[in-house]
Amino acid sequence: MFKPPHRVDARRAFTLVELLVVIAIIGILVALLLPAVQAARESARRTQCNNQLKQIGLALQNYHDSQGQFPKGRNSTSEVGVGWSFLILPQMEENAIHDAYDATQPVHAEANAAAMRTPISAYICPSRRSVTADRNFDNNDQGAGANGEPLGVAVAGDYAANAGLEEDMGMENNDYEEGQVDEDSAIDFVHWHADASLVGPIFSNSRIRARHITDGLSKTFAIGEKHVRPRDSDWTDAEAHSKQGDTCFLAADNLKTILRGTEDGLASGPNDDSRRSVTMFGSSHPGVVLFVFADGHTESLSTSRSGFANVNPNQVGDVPDPTDPEDLDEVEQWGWLMAMSTIAGEEIISD
């Protein structure tokens, strides 16, 4: 029986034009979807950062319950001393790191190397860096590795305590370059009544109790994201000691690592390299900085928010005067932030 030859259907290949069109369509889809994916990832990272601040806020509450006061910002200005981030480690369920650190030894002592190098995930903002990020540090003002002293290594950290209008509150003469912890400030809160409109809940040698925060626990923030200038990430120069602000220092040697003030406002963004931004709160989240308040709730505050606040109505100390035309712009722009940072300023904030 005769069988006709099998017929093979001819298949037409893609032309170059068709291939280019498909590639172009894929490129457009990727361009449209990528920002949405990035936004979703940032939203997740911001949520994680917010949850970490809630955890820190809860630790502050538990510390207050057990000790009768909020933790000190730091208890010393020397190499032997600890700050708030160390004091609340047991409440953060980080007992192993707390117990591994010998608070009677200098921060750069070999006995403390393991604790200083152990990452604390709750102290790292996921939008800024990985949990394993660390930094070299120097413990004198002579420059990195001066006098034969080796550089130490400390894990990075992204949160700082609210000291009030200035990061050096609680220092003698409020001069953090040469000042020492004012021992009198911690003896009796009466000593601080005259400056209650200037200080935050956690400053050098502070002993603030909930009842001292007469502006309200829900109106006064305790911990926030700290800004670190890009120039301060390189610690190979003679300023290595002053650039320790990028760590989560368990020790209290440098206040830039653990404390911030509000008189200069918020950093405009992660790349703000201005001189004043070294002591500002700031974040890697677009347009906002996250804070946890003394009552434990969290808020995101805009870096461009405007709102008038009658800061320091009793005019104690050198702060912007809302009745002075020369100070009016600063008060209108950042008065709301300063008002939220003080414990007993009696300020009135408008939306």
Nearest to 226 by CA among 138, 161, 273: 161
What pLDDT is recorded for position 312?
A: 44
Nearest to 201 by CA among 224, 180, 220, 174: 220
Would residue 11 count as lying in a domain? Answer: no
What pLDDT is recorded for position 112?
A: 86
What pLDDT is recorded for position 283?
A: 92
Would residue 38 count as lying in a domain? Answer: no
Q: Is the pLDDT of residue 31 over 60?
A: yes
What pLDDT is recorded for position 277?
A: 73
- List Cα–Cα distances, 320 to 222, 266, 329, in angstroms: 22, 16, 9
Helices (H) and strands (E) in the chain, counts: 5, 7
Would residue 13 count as lying in a domain? Answer: no
Nearest to 245 by CA among 151, 348, 154, 330: 154
Element (H, E) at 306: none
Would residue 251 count as lying in a domain? Answer: yes
Would residue 148 count as lying in a domain? Answer: yes
What pLDDT is recorded for position 61?
A: 97
Q: Is the pLDDT of residue 48 over 70?
A: yes
The mean pLDDT value of the chain amounts to 77
What pLDDT is recorded for position 350?
A: 56
Domain span at 172: 44-341
At 281 the three-state DSSP class reads: strand
By percentage, how much of the chain surpasses pLDDT 70?
67
Number of domain units in the chain:
1
Range with the poorest average pLDDT among 61-70, 187-196, 303-312: 187-196
Would residue 351 count as lying in a domain? Answer: no
Q: Is the pLDDT of residue 229 over 90?
A: no
What pLDDT is recorded for position 58?
A: 98
Nearest to 267 by CA among 286, 257, 279, 280: 280
What pLDDT is recorded for position 88?
A: 95
Would residue 66 count as lying in a domain? Answer: yes
